[in-house]
Chain A
Amino acid sequence: MTRRVTFKFRLYTAADTQNSVQALANLTSLCHEHLEGRFEIEVVDVFREPKRALADGIRMTPTLVKLSPAPIQKIVGTLCQTQRVLQMLGLDIIAA
């Protein structure tokens, strides 16, 4: 199992609302800590691109979508519980 796989994330945010800002901060620090050098984060501001959010089925913000590696996963919220987020993303093994 290669350890050099790149994680692609897309974070849907609601402009600079508190929850969204927190989520982006939490995600960034988590990535830097556990996936240094092998992650990409795309931020989609739902306020700017509502059509896209609608088409992508995004209802609640912030929503984090892990596009790759498969499977695609969605996590809603500020991502404040780091351990739990890692577990959800299947990253806890790496972290250990």
Chain B
Amino acid sequence: MKRVLLIGIFSVVGLLSPRAGSAQDWASMTEALRNIRSIKAEFLQQRTLPILTKPLLSEGRFFFQASGSLRWEYLRPLRSVMIQKGNTLEYYHFSDGIWKPEVTQAVETRRMVITEISRWFQGRFDQSTVFQPLYSPGPPGRVILTPREGVDQFIRRITIFLSNRIGVIDRVEIEEPGGSRTSIEFKKIEINSSLSSEIFEKP
């Protein structure tokens, strides 16, 4: 009986540990991500909703600097950009030929999402207060983020698919209760290239 209980405890601990896969893989993966100084990439976002027969597609690009700057920009179908510099978060929307600042809604939630994304690109999965990480070596290597209590009303699970190129994220899938999901696929990824400071200024 005691043995069964101990096996049960070890199984649960194993599942909850980020090192559920190979400890070496996890260590090398997080170390590679932590050596990233900058990222430039394009992305394709697919938003699947149970009420829509076709997913809603958005295209954009993003720029990230480990020093604390991020630009997440949608190019199609709507043009909007979110710029984070340190603790400052600003939103702009392109309309009638000009960029207009937005008095945006749900700021705290959107800030939380951006903070999480910044952590993922630096391999700091275990620093999240919102998600519990679990590493699966694959292939493809994956980090599965399970929400803690409260957030699970909105997000069931996030899966980060890692590229064969160590330290690079290929795709992120966000599953919600009720069958909605979001998939973000990254392409044309450039790591540690030089990024102009103007990228993180207001457009």
Say if A and B assemble together.
no
